[in-house]
Amino acid sequence: MPSGVNSLGILSLEVCMSVSQIIQKLRKELPVCFVRKEVPRLLGGIIAVGTLANLDSQKLGPPFHRVRGKVLYERDTFLDWLSIYIEKSV
């Protein structure tokens, strides 16, 4: 489990951190590649598997590869997308 994530899997980041600081922290802690179903655990539940699937079906989600029927994200391209997604949401 990445540091900054408590035993419940909740990302415990300081409130005063900017989006870029959060993304920078995640770049250091996330694995290089991960499957879609791991995203809620890795990000402390800030984005759901269903949300990613819906965004992908609308061609609005992060770039991905399909490997043996699973959606695989690369850390850096996922975090680049997440940064933009968060900025649009706030």
pLDDT for 25-83, tens place per residue?
999 999 999 999 999 999 999 899 999 999 999 999 999 999 999 999 999 999 999 99
The pair of structure tokens assigned to 12 is 């415990």
Pair 22, 13: CB distance under 8 Å: yes
- What is the reported pLDDT for 15? 52
- What is the reported pLDDT for 86? 86
Q: What does the CA dihedral 74, 48, 1, 19 come to, rounded to 10 degrees? A: 70
pLDDT at 9 over 90: no
d(CA 27, CA 40): 16
The pTM for the full model equals 0.79
- What is the reported pLDDT for 8? 46
Alpha carbon 15 to its chain centroid, in Å, reads 18
- What is the reported pLDDT for 19? 83
